[in-house]
Amino acid sequence: MTRAVIRHETWTLEPDREQDAVPVTYAMQCAVCEESSETAEDFAELQSWVLQHCGKNPSHHTFREVITRPWRTWRHG
């Protein structure tokens, strides 16, 4: 006979803000042609890419912000 033990545990999911967490990074993607900028930790660096891209492609004026944010889980004692 097989027996199973089921234990209910409570977990929490939250952004990882620990000292050793990988940094949050940003990128911008053109919604017209889907070309993307490089990733950067500072969003201000991406503004230049957007302005240069729309300068070269005057009909490309819609963009997506792509955020990569580390998350972590932890179990309540």
- Looking at the predicted structure, is the pLDDT value of residue 24 above 80? yes
Q: What's the chain's Rg over C-alpha atoms?
A: 21
The predicted pLDDT at position 69 comes to 97
What single-letter amino acid sits at 33?
C
Distance in angstroms (rounded) separating the CA atoms of residues 8 and 26: 37
The predicted pLDDT at position 43 comes to 87
Distance in angstroms (rounded) separating the CA atoms of residues 9 and 22: 27
Distances (CA, A) of 34 to 5, 28, 37, 48, 68: 49, 9, 10, 17, 17
Supply the mean pLDDT for the chain.
93
Distance in angstroms (rounded) separating the CA atoms of residues 39 and 28: 8
The predicted pLDDT at position 62 comes to 97
What is the average per-residue pLDDT within 39-44?
93
